[in-house]
Structure formats: structure tokens, C-alpha cells
Structure 1
Amino acid sequence: MDLLINVGLPISLAIIMLSLGIGLEIADFRRVLSRRYPFAIGAICQVVLLPIAAFATVKLFALPPEIAVGFMLLSFCPGGVTSNILSKLAKADVALSVSLTAVISLLSILTVPILAAWAIGHFMGENAPEVSISGLAVAMFLITTLPVAIGVAIRNFAEGFADRVDAPLAKLATALFILIVVAALAGNWQLFVENLGVMGAGLISLNVALLLIGLGLARVANLSWKESKAISIETGIQNSTLGITLAALITGTESGFSPLALPAAVYGITMYAVAIPFLIWFRSR
């Protein structure tokens, strides 16, 4: 188990982020400058409203401290490859979705360590493990930012090679994601069973609320329907593998997968059940 957490988990996340980077082009970052307003609305939803909604959900469902921290860690995570795929299936503005995923993923090296340290201290109090913000930032850079940058560089300088490895990498990333979720659930099975009702209800409620919040704010901001759908998905779909990895980085590996990883692991399953009805609705309009 320690080998899976120490080696397999970081490598798996790095491969997933590399897969994200290979699907990106320099133009995806330049697009932010030409579409400042839609991007700003999406960024506000992800960076500001998402953690606020998670905090409200934690309080509303009176979740145990470790589960509450897991919820907050998940809310700090940006979208991933999944959000881009779902945007395409929903006939949303894929370019906007990709731009948001790319930039917010790179910014997470700054936002996530600080917010994670706050959440640990706020909810766990005296039982909180010591969190090194600088150490977490370095780890975030190595397993998220650097692989994305390498992927973008490969796409920019060797487009043919990027096209060939894109699909196999995506399949490998999916397989690794499933393995990580199963391992995290198995390592905390008793805690998972004991908290499944309240945790599942909280995650599903949060997921639905976020999809609606993103959609509602985009419509109030008078964005197009395609842009609104993209922002809804980017707000409601988080990188659960990063949430699991953050939990492992914060608590270490002495006792296997941390209970802090449970919400992200369960979310990795429930988000599809929540997303499917929205996809059907989005595709019909």
C-alpha cells in the first residue's frame, strides 16, 4: 500500500496531468486575453464560489472533521481532462473549458497549498497534521504544473507525436484514476461505510449546486448558452485524483490512504451520476 501511495499515486497524477497538457496548445492560454469576461466569470466560480459552496455544505451536513477537510480539499482542486470531455459531449464552448482548465490548473500551485493549510487547521484544530505550505507547493509543481507544461511543450514542438500518444495516455490516465479510487475506498472501507449516507448526500448536493451556480452566474452575466454550459461544467467537475493525492501529501503514508481522501474518492464515482442528467439537458438545447 505504501508503494502505491508513495510512488504510484504521484506518478498516476503526473500522467493524468501530462495527458491534460498534451491536449493543450499555446493558443488555449492566449485565448484568455481575448475572452477576458467569460474567463473571469468562470474563474470566479471555480476559485471563489466553489470553496464557499463546499464550506456551506460541510456546515449544513455537520460532517466529521476529516471528512469536512476532504470536502474542502476537493473544492480547491481545478477541473481536469474530464471537464473538457464533458464540455465536448454537452456541446458547450470547449475552447473556454480548456482555457479555464489550463490556467486554473497552473494557478493551483499558489492557491491550493494556502487554502489546504487553512482548512486543515480550521476543521481539525489540535488534531491537525503539520502542513508545510512551501513543501506542498513544490509537490504540486512537480506532479501538476510541470507535467502540464511538458505536455504543452510536446504539443507545440512535436505535434505528430502528441497526436499519436494522446489517446493511449488518456486511456492510461482513466485506468490509473479507477485504480486510485478503488484503493482509496478499500483503505478506508469502514469509515466509508459509516459515513456513506451523509457523505454521499453532501457530495451529490454540492455537485448539483455547483453545476447550477456556474450556469446561473453565467446566464446572469449574459454569456452565451455554450459559454454558460462550459462554465457550469468547469464549476461542477473537479479533479478528484488531485484531491486524493493532496490528502496523501498532507497526512503521509504511515496508515495507508488518509480518511481525508474519502470525499474525493467517492466524488470520483458520484460526479458521473450527477453529470449525466445535466449532459442530456445541455445536449437537448
Structure 2
Amino acid sequence: MDLLISVGLPISLAIIMLSLGIGLEIADFRRVISRRYPFAIGALCQVVLLPVAAFATVKLFGLPPEIAVGFMLLSFCPGGVTSNILSKLAKADVALSVSLTAVISLLSILTVPILAAWSINHFMGEDAPEVSISGLAIAMFLITTLPVAIGVSVRRFAATFAQKIDAPLSRLATALFVLIVLAALAGNWQLFVDNLGVMGAGLISLNVALLLIGLGLARAASLSWNESKTISIETGIQNSTLGITLAALITGTESGFSPLALPSAVYGITMYAVAIPFLAWFRNR
């Protein structure tokens, strides 16, 4: 189990982020300049409103400290390739989705370590493990930003090769995601059973609220329907694999998968149950 967490988990996330990078082009980053307003709305939802909503949910449901930290870690993790796929299925603005994913994923090496350290100290108090913000930032760079940059470079300078490996790499990323979620659940099974009711209700409520908040804010900002659908999905869909990995980076591998990873693992399952009705609505309207 220690080998899976210390070696397999970071490598798996790096492959997932490489898969994201392979699907990106330089134009996806340039597009932010020409579409500043919808991008700003999406960034506001992801970076500010999402953690605030998670904090409110944790307080409302009275979650235990470790589970509360897990909720907050999940809220700091941008959607990744999953949100891009769901935007495509929803017939939303995929270009906007990809641009948000590209930029926010790169910015996460600055935002996530600081917010994660604050959350742990706030909720766990004296029981909080020591968190090195610089160490966490370096780890985030190595397993998220660097693979994305490599993927973008491969797409830029070896487009044919990138197209060949895109689909197999995506399938591998999906398989690794499933394995990580199952391993995290198995490693905290009793805690999962004991907190399933309140944790599941909290995650589903948060997921639904975020999808609606993102949609409502986008409509209030007079964005188009397709842009609004994208903002909704980008706000409501998080990268649960990154949440699980963050938990492991913070607590180490000595005791198996950290309880801090449990909300992300459960969310990796519940988000699809929540997203499917929204996708059906988005596609048919």
C-alpha cells in the first residue's frame, strides 16, 4: 500500500495531467486574452466561490475535522480533463472550458498549497500535521504543472504523435482514476461507512449547489447559454484524483491512504450521479 501511495499515486496523477496537456494547444492559453470577461467569471467561480461554498457546507453539516479538510482540499482542485469532456457532452462552450482548465490548472501550484495549509490549521488545530507550503508547491509543480507543460509541448512540436497517443493515454488515465478511487475507499473503509450518510449528503449538496451557482452567476453576468453551461460545469466538477494526491502529500504514506482523501474518493463516484441529470438538461434545452 505504501508503494502505491508514494510511487503509484503521483505517477498516476502525472499521467492524468499529461493526458490533459496532450489535449491542449497554445491557442487555448491565448484565447483567455480575447475572451477576458467569460474567463474572469469562470475563474471567479473556481478560485473564490467554490472554496467559500465548500466551507459553508462543512459548517452546515458539522463534519469531523479530517473530513472537513478533505472537503476543502477537493474544492481547491480544478476540474481537469473531466470537465472538458462533460462540457463537450453538454454541448457547451468547449473552447472556454479548455481555456479555464489550462490556466487554472497551472495557477493551482500557487493557490492550492497556501489554501491547503490554512484549511488544515483551521479545522485540525493542534492535531494538524506540519505542512510545508514550498514543499507542497514543488510537488504540485512536478506532478501537475510539468506534465501539462510536457503534454502541450508534445502537441505543439509532434502533433501527429500526440494525436496517436491521445486516446490510449485518456483510457489509461481513466483506468488509473478508478484504481485510485477504489484504493482510497478501501484504505479508509470503516471511516467511509461511519460517515457515508453525512459525507455523501454534503458532497451531493455541494455538487448540486455549485452547478447551480455557476449557472446562475453566468446568466446574471449576461453570458450566452453555451458559456453559462461551461461555467456551471467548471464550477461544479473537481479533480478528485488531485484531491486524493494532495491528502497523501500532506500526511505521508506511513498509515496508508489518509482520511483526508476520503471526500475526494467518494466525490469521484457521486459527481457522475449528480452530473448526468444536468447534462441531460443542458443537452435538451
Range of TM-score over shorter length:
over 0.9
1:109 partner SS:
helix
User: How many percent identity over aligned positions?
Assistant: 90
Distance (Å, rounded) in 2 between the aligned partners of 1:212 and 1:161? 39
TM-score, normalisation: structure 1: 1.00
Alpha-carbon RMSD across the aligned residues, in angstroms, is 0.2
Residue 223 of structure 1 pairs with residue 194 of structure 2: no
Residue 18 of structure 1 pairs with residue 48 of structure 2: no
Distance (Å, rounded) in 1 between the aligned partners of 2:281 and 2:183? 33
Residue 196 of structure 1 pairs with residue 207 of structure 2: no
Q: Which residue of structure 1 lines up, in the alignment, with residue 73 of structure 2?
A: 73
Distance (Å, rounded) in 2 between the aligned partners of 1:97 and 1:66? 31
Distance (Å, rounded) in 1 between the aligned partners of 2:24 and 2:215? 24
Question: What is the aligned length?
Answer: 285
Residue 173 of structure 1 pairs with residue 165 of structure 2: no
One-letter code aligned to 2:258: S
Residue 54 of structure 1 pairs with residue 54 of structure 2: yes
TM-score, normalisation: structure 2: 1.00
1:194 partner SS:
helix
Structure 1's unaligned 5+ residue stretches are none
1:76-125: per-residue Cα shift (whole Å, max 9, x none)? 00111110000000000000000000000000000000000000000000
Distance (Å, rounded) in 2 between the aligned partners of 1:248 and 1:14? 14
1:33 partner SS:
helix
Q: Which residue of structure 1 lines up, in the alignment, with residue 214 of structure 2?
A: 214
Aligned-pair CA distance for 1:232:
0.3
Residue 158 of structure 1 pairs with residue 158 of structure 2: yes
One-letter code aligned to 1:112: V
1:171-190: per-residue Cα shift (whole Å, max 9, x none)? 00000000000000000000
Distance (Å, rounded) in 2 between the aligned partners of 1:274 and 1:15? 26
Q: Which residue of structure 1 lines up, in the alignment, with residue 279 of structure 2?
A: 279
Distance (Å, rounded) in 2 between the aligned partners of 1:154 and 1:238? 25
Distance (Å, rounded) in 1 between the aligned partners of 2:35 and 2:257? 41
Aligned-pair CA distance for 1:140:
0.1
1:195-230: per-residue Cα shift (whole Å, max 9, x none)? 000000000000000000000000000000000000
4+ residue runs over 3 A deviation: none
One-letter code aligned to 1:136: L
